[in-house]
Amino acid sequence: MPSRRDFLKAGLTAGAGALPLLHEADGYSMDGGLHGEQEAASTASDAAGTLTTLPARLPTAMETAQQWQLGVRRVGQTNMTEHDPAVMNVEAWADYWSRAKADVVFISVTGILAYYPSKVPFHRHGKFLHGRDFFGECVAAAKRRGLRVVARMSPDLNWDDALAAHPEWAMRHPDGSAQRSSEEPLLFKTCMFSSYMDDYVPAIMREINSLYDVDCFYTNGWPPLGSLPDCHCSICRKLPASGSPAYWSVFTDRVLDLWRRYDAIAKEKKPDSFFFANSGGNVRGGPNLDRLGKVATWFQADNQGRTYEEPAVWGCSLQGRVCNAVMDGKFAANVTAAYSTGNPGWRNLTKSADEARMWLNETVASGMVPYFHFIGAESGLGEDRRWQKIGADYFQWTARHDAHLRTRRSIANLGVVIGQGTQLLYPGPASDRSRSYMYETTQGIYDILLRGRFAFDFVHEDRLGPERLSRYRALILPNVAMLSDLQCAQLEAYVQAGGSLIASFETSLYDEHLKPRGDFGLAALVGISKAGDAIGTNGNPYYARIESPNSSHPHPILEGFRDTNWIAGAKNRLPLQPIDHPVLTVVPGFVRYPPELAYPPIAHTDEPAVVLRETGASRIAWFPGDVERTYWLTGQSDLLRLVHNAIHWVTRGERVVQVDGDGLVEMFCWETGPGYAVHLLNYTNPNAFHGWLQSVTPLGAQRVSMRLPSGVRIRTVELLRAESSLPFDVKEQTLRFTIPTVEDYEVAAITVA
């Protein structure tokens, strides 16, 4: 078996020269010049960072005839209820989605209730079906309008008659009772390890294939999103414990085995048909996202809208970054619910138009295909018809600009490692265990990166080879606690090849089986060693002491800290052994109340509050505290500045695109067929972190600068939302232009000659 040293050697061999490619073959050279075709509309300051040349443009990739889904740009669904066969006007339904310029529609089969005269045992006919072939009528109406059809199934629930005949189909509680729907107790939850998935679901698929011209199959409600099932049936009792790394592996194996089998059934009638399933859960996912990305041809991001438990406005964008990390350019769509998301939620009422549009904006900006849906068709197309104009207007706008909205490659020099295993399985430190721990960590680093207006990608922990990492100047590992020996070796190879790292807290302290190591897996790389177990907060968290507060040449990580010897530490920290010449040291936490005791019993230690290391082109910053999560919980400005400074330092201030202006803005930069696209999402709104957006707070001028590859000439810069052209300037290979205003969203589409 190869040793870790062998892995490292192999990684170095593969990665040697990989980082220099960022500055040479891929167009990252700072040399060369290109003169503009128009006068400057504005001048953008480069003070916040050095502009790095965009990567050399890729040749245009031709879509293959077998992958028809790659041509899909808009997805529509009226999510059908049992009552719809009695009230829905099928022709009006099909007309709406056709006018809205949808390319494909989802039509319910389903598995819980049949929307056609199914003969599969236990596929209960809806009580308003009365022998009608409602599904068939909808398929025919869609096909007459040139719409493709997804046959939508739901294998997650069934009725008591099925349970009586097949008790082995049910998920079970530890006491042996069947698990039931929380809202409709007449429905029981089906176990994905049972013959329900092996026999019942394939029977429905084959029946549909025998009767109808559908283009592909989809299962709603399976597999689970963001968590692992906890079943105690006779089958699952023989599996590893739910929530363990071993169970996650078995769970993923089962998901992918069924996925492949269902895909083969889909292809029995048409070779270009396929199967796909409910996906999403953002960085948590359900099955291993790296493995899923290798199998899936359509990633169905079931990320319908904000809930009160996950209030950040950027939740859809975050999901899009996950899809970009694992799908390798294959199709991904995000389900935007027109209805009222949240708990309580009104499933049959339209949410605010600004909130719905922002979710669609984030879908498009993050590289996914917009997918809009509503529930039910009472009174023809619904009692509440407000959603129809929102969806049609948005879809028609995207149709006018498809060429610029179809993405080819993300442009970013910063990667954030997705620790999916850590997200699903790691419980957090003993002093602070909670399921929300890693959610809060992810939100913290996301907020930090948005406020710094950094262009960044997500990178899955199982995709750390040099062929992926070589595109990034630096990687961020926000408490990626679980890393295998191979993953540690890959990160070491990346650093040896010139890449830089920022990491925090318990990163690499556990292996892929959640087994704690005696020391960090990256200890030798960083030059650190743990000096004890994690320490939480009782009163004041720890502080970080500036070791040379009056220095005329402070370390760049201390930029902007004046008139203080202390700055904020984090809620939890893992103490480290002393290092030479620390920039910040730990002032241990102490009593916050009563104020008489609010002073440090130990005011000065040699325990580092950050470890900084520089070797050749590589720079490393390691925070022993959970700085990202603490920032999310507190909004502490010291932590925001500290992490921003660390990012600037490890990247040497290089940016692929710089956007200057006011407001809380998320930025995406893409290579497109015509050229490039810079997407700006305006989150400046009192409802950015709770509740729906009720109005838009427009922003003023946003100044954009981009360093261009040698030989690229700019033909036009257009604003897609404003649907107007912009003046621009190109001097010494740098493109500059100003977007005069951004309401909720703007796209600067750059066409090259």
Same-domain pairing of 342 and 442: no
Same-domain pairing of 638 and 661: no
DSSP H or E run through 437: helix 437-451
Same-domain pairing of 599 and 693: no
Domain span holding position 261: 68-409
494: nearest Cα among 10, 105, 164: 10
Asked whether the beta carbons of 132 and 206 are under 8 A apart, the reply is no
Residue 468 covered by a domain: yes
C-alpha dihedral, 724 to 730 to 733 to 737, nearest 10°:
-50
Give the per-residue pLDDT at 15: 35
Same-domain pairing of 247 and 173: yes
Same-domain pairing of 578 and 700: no
Cα–Cα distance measured from residue 316 to residue 327, given in angstroms and rounded to the nearest whole number: 16
DSSP H or E run through 212: none
Asked whether the beta carbons of 712 and 34 are under 8 A apart, the reply is yes
Give the per-residue pLDDT at 677: 98
Number of domains in the chain: 3
Same-domain pairing of 447 and 397: no
Cα 701 to Cα 133, 453, 751: the distances in Å are 56, 15, 21
* Residue that is last in its domain, among 409, 424, 453: 409
Asked whether the beta carbons of 225 and 278 are under 8 A apart, the reply is yes
Bridge partners, residue 703, by sequence: 660, 738
Cα–Cα distance measured from residue 45 to residue 653, given in angstroms and rounded to the nearest whole number: 13
Residue 347 belongs to domain with CATH number? 3.20.20.70
Same-domain pairing of 423 and 477: yes
State the amino acid at position 646 in one-letter form: A
Same-domain pairing of 339 and 446: no
3-class secondary-structure state, position 510: strand
Give the per-residue pLDDT at 431: 85
Cα–Cα distance measured from residue 173 to residue 682, given in angstroms and rounded to the nearest whole number: 45
Please state, as a whole number, how many other Cβ atoms lie within 10 Å of the Cβ of residue 199.
13
371: nearest Cα among 336, 322, 406: 336
* Residue that is last in its domain, among 376, 409, 442: 409
Give the per-residue pLDDT at 22: 32
Cα 308 to Cα 204, 226, 321, 685: the distances in Å are 36, 16, 22, 17
Residue 620 belongs to domain with CATH number? 3.40.50.880
Residue 438 covered by a domain: yes
Give the per-residue pLDDT at 47: 41
Residue 36 covered by a domain: no
User: Which conformational region is residue 539 in: left (phi greater than 0), alpha (psi within -120 to 50 degrees), or beta?
Assistant: left
Determine the Cα angle at 177 with ends 171 and 178, to 5°.
Answer: 35
Same-domain pairing of 471 and 604: yes
Give the per-residue pLDDT at 380: 57
- Distant-in-sequence, close-in-space partners of 253: CB < 8 Å, separation ≥ 6: none
282: nearest Cα among 325, 246, 222: 325
Residue 709 covered by a domain: yes
Give the per-residue pLDDT at 32: 29
Same-domain pairing of 156 and 188: yes
Cα–Cα distance measured from residue 211 to residue 116, given in angstroms and rounded to the nearest whole number: 10
Residue 682 belongs to domain with CATH number? 2.60.40.1180
Ordered DSSP codes for 338-385: SB--SSS--TTSB--HHHHHHHHHHHHHTTPEEEEEEE--TTTT-S--
Residue 45 covered by a domain: no
DSSP H or E run through 116: none
Residue 37 covered by a domain: no
Half-sphere exposure of residue 164, counting CA atoms within 13 Å on the CB side? 6
Residue 146 covered by a domain: yes
Strands (E), 39-138: 50-51, 75-79, 104-108
Cα–Cα distance measured from residue 89 to residue 409, given in angstroms and rounded to the nearest whole number: 42
* Residue that is last in its domain, among 358, 375, 409: 409
Chain centre to alpha carbon of residue 413: 17
Same-domain pairing of 633 and 741: no
State the amino acid at position 74 in one-letter form: R
Q: Which of the residues in the chain have pLDDT under 70?
A: 1-48, 60-66, 379-382
Same-domain pairing of 23 and 102: no
Residue 60 covered by a domain: no
